[in-house]
Amino acid sequence: MTLSISLTVNGVRRDIELEDPRVTLLDLLRERLDLTGTKKGCDRGQCGACTVLADGRRINSCLALAASLDGAEIITIEGVSRGEELHPVQAAFIAHDGFQCGFCTPGQIMSAIGLIQEGQAGSDPERIREGMSGNICRCGAYSGITEAVLDAQKSLADADRRSAA
Amino acid sequence: MKSFDYVRPATVSEAIMAAAEPGAVYLAAGTNLLDLMKGGITRPDRLVDITRLPGLDRIERLSDGGLRIGALVRNADLAHDPEFARSFPAIAEALLSGASAQLRNAATVGGNLLQRARCAYFYDVASACNKREPGTGCDARNGENRLHAVLGWSDACIATHPSDFCVPLVALDAVVEIEGRTGRREIAIESLHPLPGNTPERDNALEPGDLIVGLRLPAKARTFASHARYLKVRERTSYAFAVVSAAAALRIEGGKIREARLALGGVAAKPWRGRPAEEILAGASVSDAAFRRAAEAALAEAKPSGDNQFKIELARRIVVRALTLAAAGTPARIPALPGSPFSSVSGAPHDA
C-alpha cells in the first residue's frame, strides 16, 4: 500500500510517497531526505541520539511512524542554525566541551532545545540532568553538557529580554 | 519488522470496527508498540492509528468534582497541567519518574495503561515465554530473575507490570472508560490488569476492538492532595523501570490518619493495592510503628519467584518511607528527581 504524507521539515514542505508504512521518522529523515545529522543509535528509544522536535516537542524519531506524523512540523539539527550563525545551544556545546566523539551531540542539542522550551528545569543543574536523562553520552561528557544547557538557557533568556526591551 | 496495513479512522466507531479484526492493534504514540514490533515480539497485521480521533485529548473537570482525562493526553502534558498536579500530586510525580522527557512528550494515557511486560525473556524471541507464546514455558523461572514478581505470580509467568502511572491510579480508584463493539462500559483500573494464573498471554481485561477512551478520577481522590507521594527505587538515578515503587496517600486530621491509600509497583503483574495496610492505618496515629505494621501487612503474602527475596524487604522499607514522606506533606513543587529516594535539596547533586 502506498501512503501519501506531507511534513514540514526545517521549514520546507515535503510531500512524500511511502511505499511501506513501516518507515519511522528517523529512517525517513536519514534515508529519504538525506538529513543524516539525526543519528541512529539504539533504534529503540533508549539512547536519545535520534531526538528531533515534532510540532515543537522533543521526541525519539526512532519510535515514531512517519505515516502517523502526517502534517507535522519537524525540526532537525540541520534546521537550528541561521546560516553560518550557530544556534545558542550549539555554540554553548562548543564553548563548554559538551561532547567528545560527537555522535550523540545532534540528539543532545535537540533535546536541550526542547528542554529549554519546556521551561520546567530552571537554573537547577539537578533538574537539567534529570531532564536530559533520555540522552546517553558514552564519552561521558555530561558535566560539559549540563554547563552548556545552563549557559544556553541564560543566553536565550537574555536575548529574549533584549528583544522585548 | 513484519509488514502491516496502516489505517487512520476518523471516528471512534470506525476505529473499533477496524481493530476488531484478528491481527489488528491500535497505534497511539507507538513508543511501546514499535519497540515490540522491531523485536518481533508483536507481529500485527494491521495498525489502527487513533491519534486523529476527535475529543480524546482533553482534561476535564466533572460536575461531581471528579476529573476526566482523555486517552490521547500525553504523559508530559498531564504531569505539567497545574490543576492536575495540585490535585493529584502523587500521580504527577509517578508520571515524571517514568521514562525520559522525549518519551513522556509522546506517550499517551491510554497507551501507558496498556504497556506490556518488560521481562527480558518476553523480549527475547529465542527464549521460552508463556506470555509471548502460550504453552512454551517460562525461561525467567530459572534465569536472571532478581527483578521479577514477588506477589501474585504463577508458575506460568513471573513478569511484573512496568507502569509507574498506574500505581497511584490504582491507589486512588481510577476508572477506565472503554468503547467497544457493544457500546460504552467502564471498569475499575484495579480490574484492568489480571494476574497471570495459567493465561499470562492475557495482559488486560479488554476484548477485541475495545478502545480505552478515557480515565476518570473520583472527587474523593482529591482529598489526599496534601499528603500524597510516589517513591521509586531504580537501578540508576533516572530513566529506568522500578525495582520497587509505592504510591502512598493519607488523609490526616488532628494528627490521626482518617484514611490511607497504598499501592505497590514492580512487585506483581499488576499494580498491587495494599488494602490490608490501608485498614491498619485508618484511625492510627502518624507513627513509624504504624507504618511498619502497614508494610508487614502489605507484603504478608509475598514470596520470591527466584533470586529476588531482597525485593520483599526492599518493598517493606519503601512502603514505610513512602508513608513517612506522605505524612510529612506533599512538597510545594515536585522534587528535581521525581520519586527518587535519593532526592536531595534542590540544586545539590544527588550523590553529594
Please tell me whether residues A156 and A97 are part of one structural domain: yes
Cβ contacts (< 8 Å) between A130 and chain B: which residues?
A: 238, 336-338
pLDDT at position B345 is: 52
The Cα of B230 is separated from the nearest Cα of chain A by a number of Å equal to 17
Interchain contact, A126 vs B27, CB within 8 Å: no
Please tell me whether residues A49 and A110 are part of one structural domain: no
- The pLDDT tens digits for B51-74 are 999 999 999 999 999 999 999 999
Q: In this structure, what is the dihedral angle of CA atoms B338, B341, B345, B346, given to the nearest 10 degrees?
A: -20
Residue B201 φ/ψ region, left for φ over 0, alpha for ψ in the -120 to 50 degree band, beta for the rest: alpha
pLDDT at position B133 is: 98
Mean pLDDT of chain B: 96
Within chain B, all domains assigned CATH 3.30.43.10 are found at 5-52
SS3 B233: strand
| Alpha-carbon Rg for chain A in angstroms | 16
The last residue of one of the domains, among A60, A79, A98, is A79
CATH topology of domain B59-114+163-221: 3.30.465
Contact B217, B172 (CB under 8 A): yes
Name which residue leads in pLDDT, A163 or A78: A78
Contact A155, A92 (CB under 8 A): yes
What's the rounded Cα separation, in Å, for the pair B316 and B306? 18
Residues 96-125 of B with CB under 8 A from A: 99-103, 105-106
pLDDT at B349 over 60: no
Q: What is the DSSP string of B6-32?
A: EE--SSHHHHHHHHSSTTEEEESS-TT
Within chain B, all domains assigned CATH 3.30.465.10 are found at 59-114+163-221
Residue A14 belongs to a domain: yes
Q: b or e along B15-26 (b: 16 or more beta carbons within 10 Å of the residue's beta carbon)?
A: bbebbbeeebbb
The last residue of one of the domains, among A57, A79, A101, is A79
What angle do the packed helices B288-298 and B310-328 form, to 10 degrees? 140
Predicted confidence band at B2 (pLDDT cuts at 50, 70, 90)? very high
- Here the ipTM equals 0.98
Cβ contacts (< 8 Å) between A19 and chain B: which residues?
A: none
The last residue of one of the domains, among A79, A113, A146, is A79
Say yes or no: domain B5-52 is CATH 3.30.43.10. Answer: yes
Please tell me whether residues A72 and A126 are part of one structural domain: no
Q: Point out the residue among B31, B101, B348 whose CB comes nearest to the CB of A131.
A: B101
Cα angle: B253, vertex B254, B259; to 5 degrees: 30
CB pairs under 8 A between A and B: 108
What's the rounded Cα separation, in Å, for the pair A26 and A39? 8
Question: Average of pLDDT values for B283-297?
Answer: 98
SS3 B330: coil
A142: CATH: 1.10.150.120
Please give the backbone phi and psi of residue B244, each rounded to the nearest 5 degrees, phi first.
Answer: -145, 140
CATH class for the region spanning B222-328: alpha beta
The count of domains in chain A is 2
Please tell me whether residues A96 and A154 are part of one structural domain: yes
Interchain contact, B103 vs A124, CB within 8 Å: no
SS3 A54: strand
pLDDT at B352 over 50: no
- The pLDDT tens digits for B110-142 are 999 999 999 999 999 999 999 999 999 999 999
What angle do the packed helices A88-95 and A105-118 form, to 10 degrees? 120
pLDDT at position A96 is: 98
Name which residue leads in pLDDT, B26 or A160: B26
Residue count of chain A: 165
Question: Average of pLDDT values for B286-309?
Answer: 98
Please tell me whether residues A61 and A21 are part of one structural domain: yes
Rounded percentage of chain B residues whose pLDDT exceeds 90: 96
Residue A53 belongs to a domain: yes
Interchain contact, A114 vs B102, CB within 8 Å: yes
Rounded percentage of chain A residues whose pLDDT exceeds 70: 100
Question: Average of pLDDT values for B78-100?
Answer: 98
What's the rounded Cα separation, in Å, for the pair B113 and B308? 25
What is the DSSP code (8-state) at residue B242? -
What's the rounded Cα separation, in Å, for the pair B125 and A117? 40
Please tell me whether residues A42 and A74 are part of one structural domain: yes
pLDDT at B346 over 60: no
Please tell me whether residues A135 and A106 are part of one structural domain: yes
pLDDT at position A143 is: 97
Please tell me whether residues A25 and A93 are part of one structural domain: no
Q: Which residues of A touch B (CB under 8 A)?
A: 1, 3, 20-22, 24, 43-45, 48, 51, 57-60, 62-65, 67-68, 70, 111, 114-115, 118, 120, 124-127, 129-135
Residue A165 belongs to a domain: no
Residue range(s) defining the domain that contains residue A44: 3-79
Taking the mean position of all CA atoms in its chain, how far away is CA B6? 28
pLDDT at position B25 is: 98
**Nearest C-alpha neighbor of A25 from the set A55, A46, A54:** A54
